[in-house]
Structure 1
Amino acid sequence: MSIQNLSRAIAENLSSDAFALTFTVQQWETLAGYLQPIDTSIGDVLIEQGTPDRSVFFIESGAISVHRVSSKEQMKLAVLTSGSVVGEGAFFSRLPHSANVVVTGAGRVWRLTSVRFVEMSNRQPNMALEISLALGGVIAKRMAHRSKRVAVT
């Protein structure tokens, strides 16, 4: 399964909180070996609020809704589409996820688990560093934007 569509989606994402990762074709192919492609359907839950999973999801196509549930209400925090990333907060903090992430438009995401990231860090340290910096950039951009601050998952 080719990762080039994900590469293109990330390159074409011009949103204010874009995941800015610039790899060569060969680096993308190497990265594909560490990721799990997942075809998504409307209603699929990628992340459940309160769970400790540290996976990060890169959105190739489709759309997802990020929302927080409290005892009183459900609040939509963001809608993310092609080229975006989600799960970055728990990836770094090791805290449980702060929101639910549900597929609202069928497509494909690529999952990077913490175990595979550690493996990449050992085998491809420069690539792992670039991914870490790009994820950190997403968090910084979301935190600087008041309405997106709560959408760090």
Structure 2
Amino acid sequence: MSIQNLSRAIADNSSNDAFALTLNVQQWETLAGYLQPIDTGVGDVLIEQGTHDRSVYFLESGAISVHRVSSKEQMKLAVLMPGSVVGEGSFFSRQPHSANVVVTGAGRVWRLTAIRFAEMSNRQPNLALEIAMGLGAVIAKRMAHRSKRVAVT
């Protein structure tokens, strides 16, 4: 499965919290070996609030909604489009996810698990560093905007 559509989606994402990753074709192909492509349908749950999974999801196509559920209400925090990333907060913090992430437009995501990231860190440390810095930048951008602050998942 080709990762080129994901690389284009990331390159074309102009949102203020974009995941900025500039890799050459060979680096993208190497990265693909560490990611799991998942075709998604409307209503699929990528992340469940309160779970401890440290996976990060890169959105190639479709749309996803990030929302937090409390005892009183469900609050939509963000709608993310192709080229976006979710799961970055728990990836770094090892804390439970702070929100639900649900597919609202069918498409494809690429999943990076913590175990595969650890393998990448050992075998491809420069690539792992680029991914970590890119994810850290997304968190910093989301935290800098009051409306996006709660959307760090």
Q: Percent identity?
A: 86
Amino acid in structure 1 at the alignment position of 2:56: V
Matched residues in 2 for 1:141 and 1:119: separation? Answer: 27
Amino acid in structure 2 at the alignment position of 1:81: M
Q: Does 1:125 align with 2:125?
A: yes
Q: Per the alignment, in what secondary structure is the counterpart of residue 132 of structure 1?
A: helix
Matched residues in 2 for 1:79 and 1:72: separation? Answer: 21
Matched residues in 2 for 1:43 and 1:14: separation? Answer: 26
1:13 is matched with 13
1:149 is matched with 149
Q: Structure 2 unaligned runs (5+)?
A: none
Q: Per the alignment, in what secondary structure is the counterpart of residue 150 of structure 2?
A: helix
TM-score normalised by L of structure 1: 1.00
Stretches of 4+ aligned residues off by more than 4 angstroms = none
Q: Per the alignment, in what secondary structure is the counterpart of residue 151 of structure 1?
A: coil
Q: Per the alignment, in what secondary structure is the counterpart of residue 22 of structure 1?
A: coil
Q: Does 1:94 align with 2:94?
A: yes
Matched residues in 2 for 1:30 and 1:126: separation? Answer: 12
Q: Does 1:55 align with 2:41?
A: no
Deviations 1:6-41 (A, max 9, x none): 000000000000000000000000000000000000
Q: Does 1:64 align with 2:40?
A: no
Shift of residue 74, structure 1, vs aligned partner: 0.1
Amino acid in structure 1 at the alignment position of 2:31: L
Aligned-pair Cα RMSD in Å: 0.2
Shift of residue 85, structure 1, vs aligned partner: 0.2
1:73 is matched with 73
Q: Structure 1 unaligned runs (5+)?
A: none
TM-score normalised by L of structure 2: 1.00
Amino acid in structure 2 at the alignment position of 1:106: A
Matched residues in 2 for 1:140 and 1:20: separation? Answer: 12
Q: Per the alignment, in what secondary structure is the counterpart of residue 67 of structure 1?
A: strand
